[in-house]
Amino acid sequence: MKDLKKYLLLSVCVAVFGVLFTSTAFAQSRDRVVKTTSSQPTNAPSPARSTEVVRTSSSRPTLTNSIEVVRPATRVDAAYEPLSNNATAKASMLSVAAMVAAGKSRYNATTSSLLDQGIKSRYGLRYKYGSMGPNTYDCSAFVWAAFGDAGIKFTRTSARAMWAMSEPVYGDERYKFGTLVFLNGLGHMGIVADENGFYHASSSKGITYSPFKGYWEKRIVGFGKLKLAEPAN
């Protein structure tokens, strides 16, 4: 009887073990199914139909017009433009003949014309301290060279020395063409064009025309005429 019970208990254990082993083996042998998740939003439109053209980078239209690189115009300082193109100087100054006729030039027609040519022929040249030309000038050398072209000769010297050898003038006499103007504590000088401005060799702009009004009017020491200069006719 005891042997029968042992036999039955052993049979049940074997049967249970067999069921468990079979279930495990079946689970391992099943194909694993992985559910993929789309990154596309659920409210996104449906893909384009096969009849629609989907533009890609390769379908980008070809550029038909040529590309032109436009270089910026080179800036030209007005100080180095020819006198004939300088609107300020042209508007400020009457013709030499008209100035002589109106008594607005210090010299006669011939001398005034030659002085005018001497100024204009150097207009736009660069400033260089101590230089007497022909391509660069300092302030006193420019005055010396322009007057030399007009036939008025004197020894080239400094602005301060020129002040000492000139005769002071006042009133309307100051603004006659060909009058000398002294500035910056006698460290600078130029040639009067008219009541509006003067010609000079500027350290920053070269030989140019500058108006009295503004920067220069507060720097004027005085005006003078050369003692050896001839009177206007």
* Beta-carbon-side half-sphere exposure of residue 74 (alpha carbons within 13 Å): 1
Assigned token pair, 169: 């003038």
Domain annotation covers residue 61: no
Q: Note the pLDDT tens digit of each residue in 142-180.
A: 999 999 999 999 999 999 999 999 999 999 999 999 999
Contact 91, 219 (CB under 8 A): no
Domain annotation covers residue 174: yes
What pLDDT shows up at residue 70?
33
What pLDDT shows up at residue 96?
85
Q: Which residues of the chain have pLDDT under 50?
A: 19, 21, 25-27, 29-85, 87-89, 91-92, 229, 231-232
Indicate the number of domains in the chain: 1
Contact 151, 111 (CB under 8 A): yes
194 is in which domain, residue-wise?
A: 85-226
Q: Residue 185 is part of a domain; what is its CATH number?
A: 3.90.1720.10
Domain annotation covers residue 161: yes
Assigned token pair, 204: 């920053």
Contact 220, 179 (CB under 8 A): no
Q: pTM for the whole thing?
A: 0.60
Domain annotation covers residue 47: no
Residue-wise DSSP of the chain: -HHHHHHHHHHHHHHHHHHHHHHHHHHHHSPP-------S-TTPPPPPPTTSPPP-GGGPPPP-SPP---PPPPP--GGGS-GGG-HHHHHH---HHHHHHTT-BSS-HHHHHHHHHHHHTTTTPEE-TT-B-SSEE-HHHHHHHHHHHTT-------HHHHHHTEEE--GGGGGSBT-EEEETTTTEEEEE-SSSEEEEEETTTEEEEEEIIIIIGGGEEEEEEETTPPPP-
Domain annotation covers residue 13: no
Domain annotation covers residue 108: yes
What pLDDT shows up at residue 42?
37
Domain annotation covers residue 22: no
Domain annotation covers residue 210: yes
